[in-house]
Amino acid sequence: MSLGGPSPPRHSLIVNDTNLLGTKRPRPHKIWKKKYIKVMVIGDSGLGKTTLIRSLMSTPGERLQVHDGSYTPTEQFLKDPESLCSTISWRDEEDRVIWVYKIQDTPGYGDDLNIDKTVKNLVSFIEDQNVKWLGMEQSRDRKDDLGEVEDPRVDVCLFVLPPHRLRAIDLKVMYEVGRYVPLVPIVTKADTMTIREAAAYRNDVATKLSNPMLPGIRDKINVFKFERDTMERAGLVDQATPAPPFLVVASNDINEEFNGGDPPVFWPERRYQWGTAEAFNREHSDLLALRALLLKEALEEINKSKRQRYEAWRRRTLGGVKAGRHLRRILMWTIIPAVAALQIGRKGVSMEQVRSSVRSTVSTVRERVPWGRLVGRGGEKKEAKAAAPTPAPVPAPPPKKAFGLF
C-alpha cells in the first residue's frame, strides 16, 4: 500500500539495499582521522643525516624542505627543536587516515667532547615529549579529544652509523638512547665499501648490537623488531642477509631523466668516474626497503609500539609520584621532628630541659582547665567525684609523669 503515490517495484528495492538486507553486515562509513609518527635521527657529524632524510621522504617534483645540514648547533636543538623538524603528510583513501610524519634532526654527537652531556640532551628531549603528552592527558582545560591533537611523542629513532668501523662511542650512545626509544640502525655511505666489506661489516654490526661487550653494558641494544611478514612485504626476503642494520646510499643529486618522465620517478644517485651508485637500486642499497618500512608497511606497527611503550612509562611515572607522596608523609611525621630535636640539642638546649618544659606545661594545663572540659561527655560525673569530701586530708601525690619519657 502506498500513501503518496506509486511505489517502486519490490525487486529494485531489494537490489538497491542488498548491503542492508543481505547476509553480510553493512560496511560502516569511515570518517577521516589523523595519526602521527615522529622519527628522531641521531648520528655523528658528517655522516649525511640530512641527506638521508631528504632521500627517504622526498617525492618527484617536491623536494623536502630541510634545514642546512652542514652544521646543526646544539643550542638550536635545545632552544627550538621544532626548527630542525621536517613534516610531510599524505592521505590513505582506503582507511581514511591522514598520516602526519615528522622527522626530528639532531646535532652530531661528535661535536661535543662531553659525550655524557650530549646523551643527556637527547634523552631529555625524548622524556620531555612524554611529559608533554601526559600533561595533555591530565589537563583540566583540554577541549579537544587527544585523537585530534598533535602527538609529540617519539616513535622510533633512526641511528646513523659510519661505514667500515663501529666505534665504542657509537655503541654507548645507542645503548643509552635505546633505553628510552627503540633504534633502527642505518649505515650510510655504503657505496664506499666493496661487496665483501659490506657483508662483513653488516654481520659485525649485527653481532655487536646483540652483545656490545663494553664495560658497564650487559644488555643488548634495543633495536626495533619488525615483524617477519612486514619485512617480507618491504622486499627483505633474503633471510641470509641480517637486517638491521640497513646499508644505504643517499644523495642530494637526482636523475633528471627519471624525474621528468611520465610518470615522474624520484631517483637519487651518486655518480663516480667508475659508475653510478643508485640509492633505490636494491643491489646497491637498502634505502628502498627502509622507505617501504617507514612510510608504508610498518606504520601501524611502529605506532602501536609507541603506545605500548608510553603506557609502561606512564605507570612508572605515576607510581613514582605516589611513592614520593608517601615519603613526604614519613618525613613530616618522623624524620623532620627528629632532626629538629637534634638541632635543639646542638644549640645548647639539653633534652632534660625539654622534658622539664613539657612537664611544666602539662601541669599548668591540668590546673587551669577542668578535666571535664577535656573529656567532654561524662566530665561532670568525674568532677563531682573529685569534689566529694574525704574523711581525712592526705598529702598531695607527686605529679604524674606525662607520656613515657618524662
pLDDT of residue 362: 53
Tell me which of 356 and 271 has the higher pLDDT: 271
User: Residue 182: CB partners within 8 Å, gap ≥ 6?
Assistant: 156, 157, 222, 223, 224, 225, 305, 309
Pick from 4-13, 93-102, 193-202, 243-252: least confident: 4-13
Task: Work out the pLDDT band at 8, boundaries 50, 70, 90.
Answer: low
The DSSP bridge pattern shows strands 183-187 and 156-161 to be: parallel
H helices, E strands: number in the chain: 15, 8
Average pLDDT of the chain is 80
Q: How would you class 144 by CB atoms within 10 Å of its CB: exposed for 0-12, middle for 13-18, buried for 19 or more?
A: exposed
Report the pLDDT averaged over residues 256-262: 85
Under the banding of pLDDT at 50, 70 and 90, the label for residue 370 is very low
Read off the pLDDT of residues 88-108 as tens digits, 9 standing for 90 and up. 999 988 889 999 999 999 988
Provide the pLDDT confidence category of residue 19 given band limits of 50, 70 and 90.
low
What are the CA-CA distances from residue 345 to residues 16, 58, 355, 362, 402 (Å)? Answer: 93, 73, 12, 22, 21
Report the pLDDT averaged over residues 258-284: 91
> How does pLDDT run across 59-91, given as a tens digit for each residue?
876 666 666 555 678 889 999 999 899 999 999
pLDDT for the residue numbered 372: 43
Residues 57-80, buried b or exposed e (16+ Cβ, 10 A)?
bbeeeeebebeebeebebeebeee
Q: Is 145 a residue whose pLDDT tops 50?
A: yes
Label residue 386 by pLDDT band (50, 70, 90): very low
Lowest mean pLDDT among 107-116, 204-213, 349-358: 349-358
> CA 74, 80, 84 angle in degrees (round to 5)?
75
Mean pLDDT of all residues in 31-37: 91
- Specify the pLDDT at position 368: 54
pLDDT at 59: 84
Burial class (CB in 10 A: 0-12, 13-18, 19+), 123: middle
Confidence of residue 297 (pLDDT cuts 50, 70, 90): very high
Residue of higher predicted confidence among 76 and 9: 76
pLDDT at 277 over 70: yes
The predicted-structure confidence for 314-351, as pLDDT tens digits, reads as follows 999 998 655 555 555 555 556 555 555 655 655 556 66
The residue ranges of every structural domain in the chain are 33-297
What is the pLDDT at residue 146?
85
pLDDT, tens only, 155-203: 999 999 999 999 999 999 999 999 999 999 999 999 999 999 999 999 9
Under the banding of pLDDT at 50, 70 and 90, the label for residue 374 is: very low
The hierarchical CATH code for the domain 33-297 is 3.40.50.300
Phi, psi at residue 111, to the nearest 5°?
A: -75, -20
Pairwise pLDDT comparison (372 vs 35), residue with the higher score:
35
pLDDT at position 330, please? 56
The amino acid that residue 328 corresponds to is: R
- Reading the block at residue 25, the C-alpha cell is 553486515
> Is the pLDDT score of 285 beyond 50?
yes
Does residue 400 or residue 255 have the better pLDDT?
255
Higher-pLDDT residue of 111 and 164 is 164
Residue 288 has pLDDT above 50, yes or no: yes
